Amino acid sequence: MTSAASTGRGSRRIAFLGTGLMGAPMARRLLKAGLTVTVWNRDLSKAETLSADGATVSPTAADAVRGADIVFTMLSDGKAVTDVLFDQGVADALKPGAIVVDTSSIAPPIAREHSETLAKRQVHHIDAPVSGGVVGAEAGTLAIMAGGDAAIVDSLADVFAALGRVTHVGPSGAGQICKLANQQIVAITIGAVAEAMILVEAGGASREKFRDAIRGGFAESRILDLHGGRMVSRSFAPGGPSRLQLKDLDAVAAMADLFSLELPLTAKVRDEFREFVADGGGEKDHSGLLLHLEKINHRQREENQ
């Protein structure tokens, strides 16, 4: 395989596939760093908005990656990534020595399968899911969990620097398992903050003042800061849609079965997200789990009257 490190860093061409809620600000960060970026999205209008930032817009995913040294994917799930890479001709259009950086959140076995298949075509693959949401993508402060060849990850240091902080966490698939663990913590903590909000209000305290009071204590977290704030303001426009949170929790459950693990807290919050999504909350931010828990408690109070 051609060495990625041998490619001139300043002249490397990037293709970014998937410019939705997360992908668009990530691509914009790369453009602001002075990198040459071609973009594609299934809904082309979402890619075209990046032309004002200097991106070249491609009509197809395969066209976008021709001649690219680095290809980022930020797509909804493993099925979408497989479709774009192998059914829409991307893998066939990639040049030997190119690097695919999949920042989507997908199941670890699918990431490993993609890596093995691309290796046969002399293409490198890094699974590099991110955490930090839209706010982190816009600010360039994402936490990036990279699985794959450490030397390839190191060769992308300047590119990753435009997006946030990268950590090589292990071999192929390791990035995705770490992202799933991250999503466990996010989901459980959202549930904990939501339940606390319900408790303090039932006891006569202000949710807003409660959140202010515990800031800086042992309960401080990014979730309390951002998602707790959304719960107080009741602003649930999606940064992270609940349907995607459920998708990640389903993947955690599959991995728990594979490893014969009992994860009771994760299982319970997964049930709550499943009910919330089934009740129409799929496109609301995952902090909107508060609405589901409020509904449960309202029903409980009515039954006890």
Residue 132, domain member (yes or no) = yes
Reduced to 3 states (helix: H, G, I; strand: E, B; else coil), residue 56 is: strand
Same domain, yes or no: 161 and 254: no
Segment 32-56 shows an average pLDDT of 97
Residue 305, domain member (yes or no) = no
User: Could you tell me the CATH number of the domain that includes residue 113?
Assistant: 3.40.50.720
Q: What's the rounded Cα separation, in Å, for the pair 71 and 33? A: 16
Residue 6 has pLDDT above 60, yes or no: no
Same domain, yes or no: 82 and 222: no
| pLDDT tens-place string over residues 240-250 | 899 999 999 99
Q: What's the rounded Cα separation, in Å, for the pair 190 and 77? A: 22
Residue 39 has pLDDT above 80, yes or no: yes
Domain stop point among 109, 144, 171: 171
Same domain, yes or no: 281 and 184: yes
Residue 9 has pLDDT above 70, yes or no: no
Among the listed residues 147, 107, 137, 181, the one whose alpha carbon sits nearest the alpha carbon of residue 29 = 137
Same domain, yes or no: 151 and 187: no
Same domain, yes or no: 80 and 190: no
User: Could you tell me the CATH number of the domain that includes residue 209?
Assistant: 1.10.1040.10
Residue 51, domain member (yes or no) = yes
Segment 70-81 shows an average pLDDT of 96
Same domain, yes or no: 209 and 115: no
pLDDT given for residue 7 in this prediction: 42
Q: Give the position of tokens 């990268």.
A: 166
Q: How many CA atoms lie within 13 A of 153 on its CB side?
A: 23
Same domain, yes or no: 30 and 142: yes
Q: How many CA atoms lie within 13 A of 34 on its CB side?
A: 5
Residue 108, domain member (yes or no) = yes
Residue 270 has pLDDT above 90, yes or no: yes
Among the listed residues 112, 47, 34, the one whose alpha carbon sits nearest the alpha carbon of residue 74 = 47
Place 10 in a pLDDT band, splitting at 50, 70 and 90.
low
Same domain, yes or no: 130 and 266: no
Please count the other Cβ atoms lying within 10 Å of the Cβ belonging to residue 218.
6
Same domain, yes or no: 31 and 151: yes
Segment 279-296 shows an average pLDDT of 97
| Domain range enclosing 20 | 9-171
Residue 244, domain member (yes or no) = yes
Same domain, yes or no: 53 and 37: yes
Same domain, yes or no: 182 and 146: no
Domain stop point among 136, 153, 171: 171
| pLDDT tens-place string over residues 220-235 | 999 999 999 999 999 9
Give the Å distances, CA to CA, from 63 to 39, 124, 144: 10, 19, 27
Residue 117, domain member (yes or no) = yes
Q: What's the rounded Cα separation, in Å, for the pair 46 and 51? A: 10
Indicate the average pLDDT of the chain: 95
Q: How many domains, the chain?
A: 2
Residue 44, domain member (yes or no) = yes
Reduced to 3 states (helix: H, G, I; strand: E, B; else coil), residue 124 is: strand
Q: What's the rounded Cα separation, in Å, for the pair 131 and 148? A: 18
Out of 46, 95, 120, 179, pick the active-site residue: 179
pTM for the model stands at 0.87
Q: What's the rounded Cα separation, in Å, for the pair 47 and 59? A: 9
Beta-bridge partner residues of 100: 71, 125
188 Cβ neighbours under 8 A, 6+ residues apart: 265, 266, 269
Place 11 in a pLDDT band, splitting at 50, 70 and 90.
confident
179 is catalytic: yes
Q: Percentage of the chain with pLDDT > 90? A: 92
Q: What's the rounded Cα separation, in Å, for the pair 46 and 263? A: 38
Domain stop point among 171, 190, 224: 171
Q: What's the rounded Cα separation, in Å, for the pair 92 and 66? A: 9
Place 302 in a pLDDT band, splitting at 50, 70 and 90.
confident
Same domain, yes or no: 74 and 109: yes
Q: What's the rounded Cα separation, in Å, for the pair 271 and 296? A: 13
Q: What's the rounded Cα separation, in Å, for the pair 108 and 250? A: 13
Residue 304, domain member (yes or no) = no
